[in-house]
Structure formats: structure tokens, C-alpha cells
Amino acid sequence: MHCPSPAAFLDGLQSAGELMASWPGTPCLLVDNVAAFFHLERAAGAAAGEQGASMHARALGTLRDLACAKQAVVVASKLSLFGPQQDRSTSAEGGALGHREFMPRAWQDSVTHRLLLAPAAPAKVAGPLFVATWDMPACSGRHYFDISDAGICML
């Protein structure tokens, strides 16, 4: 569902909880771009920025409740653009990470697993393949996959 505002996002989380009650198996909820709401409210002014922090706390609490009550897997995505940076952070293929999208501290503190997804280095594989590595908990090894009209294919 598309949520154009923080209020719509909170309403959407409530609706998702109601929908999950009828889902068979283990429900999975993907949340993308939570930083957008922070920036929208920050641009609206200081008072709205405080409301944005409150919105993020309420959303995180709702997600934690869904994860516990519905035994749901909750995935929050975060964009990292690849490019030069003076930081020690590296991509899955060993290159330096560039810009990293904002994620509120409360969300960062709630992360239990972190999976880095990146394009595979062209010299290592042929075709438009991708690589996944676990950053948290740390694991050695890389998993290559391809995305096509047929879906995701692990290699």
C-alpha cells in the first residue's frame, strides 16, 4: 500500500495488522523508505519534526507489536548509494559505500539482522547479477542471485 503521509503510514500499519490475521503461514511486512516521513515533517518546521520523531516511535512500537503478536517478519529497507566515501563502511563486494539514507536511531537500535544487497562485480560473474552478504550478524560468504520476470533465482 502507498502511504503518502505519516498519518497514512500509521493507518496502513493498523490495517496491515488486521489483514495479517487472515494470512496463512508466517506473514512478512516490508516497510520501505521510513526516512521520507522524517524529512517531510522536518521540512514543515521544528514542531512537525518533533511530531515526526513521535510518529517514528509509534510506528516502531506498532511494528514490534505486529512482529510479536502475529509472529511476523518485518523488513525495513534502507538505500545506500555506492560511491567513494572516507568512511570504513564497505559494500558487499568490498567497495566503499557512498550516501546512506537516514534511519531514526530507534529504528537502528531495533535491527536484529542486516543484509547488504549490491550489484555483483562485473569481473566476477557474467550478466546483471547481484550479491547478498550478511552484515549483522557477521557471516562470511556471499550469495549470488539474479532478478528477472520469472522472479529471484539464487545461484
Q: What is the pLDDT of residue 88?
A: 42
Q: What is the pLDDT of residue 139?
A: 80
Per the structure, the count of domains in the chain is 2
What's the domain range around 146?
113-154
In a domain, 55, yes or no: yes
117 in the same domain as 77? no
When pLDDT is cut at 50, 70 and 90, the band that residue 126 belongs to is low
Q: Does pLDDT of 133 surpass 80?
A: yes
SS3 category, 81: strand
Q: What is the pLDDT of residue 8?
A: 87
In a domain, 96, yes or no: no
When pLDDT is cut at 50, 70 and 90, the band that residue 45 belongs to is low
**Cell for 11?**
493507518
70 in the same domain as 122? no
Which CA distances in Å does 125 have to 95, 122, 129, 132?
A: 16, 6, 7, 14
In a domain, 18, yes or no: yes
Asked if 82 and 98 count as a contact pair (C-beta separation under 8 A), the reply is: yes
Mean predicted confidence (pLDDT) in 119-137: 73
In a domain, 11, yes or no: yes
pLDDT tens for 70-119 read 888 888 877 666 543 334 444 444 555 555 667 777 778 888 888 888 88
Q: What is the pLDDT of residue 100?
A: 65
In a domain, 101, yes or no: no
